[in-house]
Amino acid sequence: MELKKENGFESLNRSIGKFHLQDKKVLIPEMNRMSAHLLAATFRGFDIRANVLETYKGQDLGKEYTSGKECYPCQVTMGDILYFLKKEKERLGDFFDPKKYIYFLPESDGPCRFGMYNKYQRLVLDSFPEWRGLKIASLTTRDGYSLNGLIKPGRVTDFRKASYFAVVVADILERLLWRIRPYEKEVGLANEFIDRSRAEMANVLEKCGPLKMFARILNRLEKIIQEGKTVIDPAIAPKPLVGIVGEIFLRMHADSNQNLIEMLEKHGAEVVNASLAEWVNFISYESLKTSVYRFHLNLKQLNFLAATNDLKAMIKFGGDLFYQEFRQKRIYKRALKIIDLIQDHRVAELEKTLKKDNAYSFQLGTEACLSIATIIDSIQSGYNGMVNVYPFTCMPSMTTSAIVRPLTNKAKMPYLDVAYDASVQPGRETAIRTFMHQAGQHFERNGNKRRFNR
């Protein structure tokens, strides 16, 4: 591929932002296989031609067009989009038109490098004349991942509700897999079941999501959970419960974290990973807190026009958070009637945990808020070990490590930091085996406090 630099940064404003998705082929990166495919199905239900990019096949391209100083997920997603474009151009030849595609890549505000992925990748794409027409549609935490501008105004609310519903359903299917795979009757049975269930649920979400036929989706989900429960061999004894927190992409992208969950299970764990819905709730919660702060500040300054706008934002973000937590609770309630799954925390409760221990402040932001609070809570809620997963040099996760290590040491609960880049560290499995030995000892001494419903 021939590289040619484009002068200036005009394309950062011209080709990144909120673009109408309909009548385009939308390319969704696979951060997490389950949620990416269910979200893509929901998009298709709203007449958006969404496809999930193949992942981790373009690593050579990702390495070639990054320096290694970027956050590791930037390298992975860079490789994914370059690989797709290269193969698509080879397939279509002269008929390939980048203007027919939109690359869907959200961002975050604050110190996290995730906020710069789409800018950097835009510059790389613009270096190739044949790809400059590809636009990047980006959601941002600055407006609570608002979907305005991506779809017709009259369908935005339904689109957001259906998309969030798909995220929670994906979380539950993931947790169902982690609940049954350590106890499966036959090796490979749980993975085969969940792959089939993902395709089945994608079809249901595509048909029923836009019509808000959520009861029908939940009925199908209940049948899947009932079937999944039959995979469990009741003769297998309970295992140590290990939680995973950390940077959202690395802990959810199995290829990037070198199949960490399955490796932990291989050495005797039952694993629960932090969810995607919890992150979405956190963004709404943070947006609400910011609006409240600005409202009071503008009132003190007698800036009533700005205060009125802040009040509207408070109502919007408060409504989003209320709906999301209400919907999430209802979905989990249906699932918990059948099998015991670990539920998500309410974000407000996590903030109370941090305030109680004076460990960290939500005012500092980033996923460290969730990770630190979750680890503190896990000490009291029956876990036998915690793993912090993050890209090499990730500031929020290194902050998490610095704060929680003394706390887990004091509580005598096993804790492991796992940092990733593109390399394979020969001592990684040894560290995990050592951690699991400690988690097993913790389990023998303390058991765990979850109820087993088989």
Over the stretch 197-252, which tens digit does the pLDDT of each residue have?
999 999 999 999 999 999 999 999 999 999 999 999 999 999 999 999 999 999 99
Cα 355 from Cα 434, distance rounded (Å): 33
- Comparing CA positions, the residue from 202, 214, 208 lying closest to residue 173 is 202
Residue 31 identity (one-letter amino acid): M
Poorest-confidence range of 8-22, 39-53, 155-169, 305-319? 8-22
258 burial type by CB count under 10 A (0-12 exposed, 13-18 middle, 19+ buried): middle
Poorest-confidence range of 2-6, 49-53, 100-104, 323-327? 2-6
As a whole number, the mean pLDDT across the chain is 91
The answer to whether 222 and 351 have CB atoms below 8 angstroms apart is: no
DSSP bridge partners of 386: 243, 415
Is 0.85 topped by the overall pTM? yes
pLDDT band at 139 (very low <50, low <70, confident <90, very high): confident
Average pLDDT over residues 421-429: 87
CA distances (Å), origin 28, targets 33, 41, 107, 156, 219: 11, 11, 13, 19, 28
Over the stretch 17-35, which tens digit does the pLDDT of each residue have?
888 888 899 999 999 999 9
Over the stretch 58-84, which tens digit does the pLDDT of each residue have?
999 999 999 888 889 999 999 999 999
Max CA separation in the chain (angstroms): 68
Q: At which residue do the structure tokens 């490789």 appear?
A: 79
**What CATH topology corresponds to 240-275+346-448?**
Rossmann fold (3.40.50)
Over the stretch 83-125, which tens digit does the pLDDT of each residue have?
999 999 999 999 999 999 999 988 766 666 666 778 888 989 9
pLDDT band at 137 (very low <50, low <70, confident <90, very high): confident
Can you give the pLDDT at residue 431?
96
CA distances (Å), origin 176, targets 182, 194, 224: 11, 9, 10
Burial 321-352 (b: 16+ CB within 10 A, else e): beebbebbeebbeebeebbebbebbbbeebbe
Average pLDDT over residues 427-433: 94
pLDDT band at 144 (very low <50, low <70, confident <90, very high): low
Can you give the pLDDT at residue 259?
96
Per-domain boundaries in the chain: 10-151, 240-275+346-448
